[in-house]
A and B are shown apart, each in its own frame.
Chain A
Amino acid sequence: MSAIHSPEGPIELEARDLSVHYNGAPAVRSVSLRIPGRRVVAFIGPSGCGKSTLLRCFNRMNDLVPGASVTGAAIFQGQDLYGSGVDPVDVRRRIGMVFQKPNPFPKSIYDNVAFGPRINGFRGDMDELIETSLRNAALWDEVKDRLDSSALALSGGQQQRLCIARTLAVEPEVVLMDEPASALDPIATQKIEELIYELKQDYTVVIVTHNMQQAARVSDYTAFLYVGEVVEYGPTQALFTNPTEDRTEAYITGRFG
């Protein structure tokens, strides 16, 4: 198995022999893989293969799931995120997350973006930070005249971009995305994908997706997971055109999944 693949460039995130159990049932089994900085890495695989669980290891969101236990190491810039003395609250500011369903806070657009900076003691110009974040999430032009109106009045796609803006506002280094476009229509999806492409100039992006076309379009590297294991991991183009594993080929050609 080509579980450990070493992409080019400096490594930002690494899973080393990482396993996750939910109440004793394995969801991720001894996964090892390296994620390069300023690239987009996609996790694909059938439902329940552990890709979302693996993603949540990188910002310790699994800590919030009752019954979940994590063994092994998730290394971020050389430091084990599960090491003693690492505060998950600090981890989550530096490694942001966007969820499957847009989950804006039921507050104004402005307050949605300002919440993270406020709790994290942001001391700069808040208005400027909000504008930058919304611009980088490709939402500014649509909302600049109504920052005080409710975020819930936005469309689904706009809400998801607001959630991305909110994530960017705390200036993370990594953005994790858990099927960020699966609840959106094709046009909104396309905007999110374009945005992901932009984001990799400044951020490392890890995206979980059900949509293989999407993985092919937006990612530089793709990992195929199956029953909690990384079956194959490599440059996206190579994985989709010339998979080395039979199971990968079977999945991407639609024979199962």
Chain B
Amino acid sequence: MTGPDAAGIEQTGPSNPPRAGATESGPTDRDTSEPRSSAGAQAPMPVAPAPAGVARGGAGGRVERGRAPVRRDPTRFDPRIGRRATFGTIFAIVCFLATMVGILVLATLLIDIFRDGWSRLTFEFLNRFPSRFPARAGVKPALAGSIWVLGLTALISFPLGVGTAIWLEEYAPDNRFTRIVETNIANLAGVPSIVYGILGLALFVRAFAIGRSVLAAALTLALLILPVIIIASQEAIKAVPNSIRLGAYALGATRWEAIRHQVLPLAMPGIMTGTILALSRAIGEAAPVIMVGALGFLAFVPSSPLDNFTVIPFQIYNWVSRPQLEFHELAAAASIVLLALLLTMNGAAIWLRNRYNRKL
């Protein structure tokens, strides 16, 4: 048995320079299962010739590399530690200022809204219908409409978006068609929302004859946020290590089982974060819902997806465009309601995400 010999070979890598070339390629080749295809394909070629030459060379088996003289001359370096540290400090300050600009603007906006609207924000305000008398006007149908539209939008866009992302990441072959689809989804995310409004009007309201309804608005907003949900979900699915998939396959899992039981639960927090952010955008949109026919004055709360509707952003727009100061205060109060709705949604998202994470 050549036990001792073998030991020497395996454990004295660093003191054995000729092997360096081969061993260096080792970790990258073996390290992960993810880039297996390329590693497996390319590794044998470059590694092969060198050892072969050595083997044939026979005796000693050492390849002497030409060594360059090592000079240790301090004058050849100018570390300038102080200067580099200063740059670091300046950079940190610039980043801090960038953060502060955003925070200050946002704080100003919030303070302004709360100063104008806080006094108008009462339970009656939430529970009354619009009126041409500011003292009697309320936000009830707009709030209900926003919740209706939001709920339907989520129901429509979540399965479509996540389904698309799963197909693109887990099933689609890597070909020209897939790449074209992915590129166009990214482009769609940049289309102005008013264009989606026009599409919704032509397609859902007129062609499908759904009318100026909650459903038409939800379908339009679902289209609007679909690209964002797809891209966020794709990223979340991509972030699941391939070793998890391989581990599932190696136990005899089908592709569906690997996705359902291993990939999706891991990707779900990311998918939900993306979806909630997208829905937050949808809830604040006024332009597309105006296009599909949100009403400026609504004296009832929608009770089915095919009812007429209005939403908070449109109510705000409506009030702001009136001359009376009181209506401007109502608009500010409605903004606070919208912010509260958003916060509730984000809170729910965080709660859901933590629940998922805890299971892991």
Contacts and interface: CB of A to CB of B under 8 A. Distances in A.
Interface of A: 22-23, 25-27, 46-50, 52-53, 59, 61, 64-68, 89-90, 92-93, 96-97, 99-101, 103-107, 115-116, 119-120, 150, 152, 163, 166-167, 170, 179, 182, 210-213, 216, 227-228, 237, 240-241, 246-247, 250-257
Contacts of B348: none
B304 to A, nearest CB: 42
B44 A49 contact: yes
Contact of A106 (B25, B54, B266): B266
Given A46-B47, A48-B48, A216-B1, 9 more contacts: A46-B22, A64-B246, A65-B37, A67-B37, A101-B33, A107-B359, A119-B252, A237-B1, A256-B22
B8 interface: yes
Nearest to B16: A254
A113 B250 CA distance: 13
A175 B8 CA distance: 29
B18 A256 contact: yes
Interface stretch (B141-149, B216-224, B253-261): B253-261
B55 interface: yes
A257 B43 contact: no
Contact of A182 (B30, B37, B41, B254): B30
A47 B9 contact: no
B255 to A, nearest CB: 9
A99 B247 CA distance: 8
Given A27-B44, A240-B1, A212 B250 contact: no
Closest 5 CB pairs of A and B: A48-B43, A93-B252, A255-B61, A22-B41, A254-B9
A120 B252 CA distance: 7
B7 interface: yes
Contacts of B122: none
Given A47-B47, A48-B44, A61 B249 contact: yes
How many of chain B's residues touch chain A, expressed as a range?
35 or more
Interface string B135-171: 0000000000000000000000000000000000000
Contact of A96 (B9, B19, B250): B250
B241 interface: yes
Contacts of A46: 22, 47, 51
B244 A92 contact: no
A257 B22 contact: yes
A96 B251 contact: yes
Contacts of B33: 99-101, 103
B252 A252 contact: no
A211 B250 contact: no
B64 interface: no
Contact of B19 (A53, A89, A115, A257): A257
A66 B37 contact: yes
Given A170-B252, A256-B18, A22 B246 contact: no
A47 B25 contact: yes
Nearest to B254: A89
A255 B54 contact: yes
A48 B29 contact: yes
Nearest to B6: A212
A53 B40 contact: yes
Given A53-B40, A67-B41, A213-B10, A103 B247 contact: yes
B252 A68 contact: no
Contacts of B266: 106
Given A61-B250, A92-B251, A216 B6 contact: yes
A108 to B, nearest CB: 9
B2 A50 contact: no
A92 B261 CA distance: 17
Given A48-B44, A65-B40, A66-B37, A253 B2 contact: yes
Nearest to A25: B41
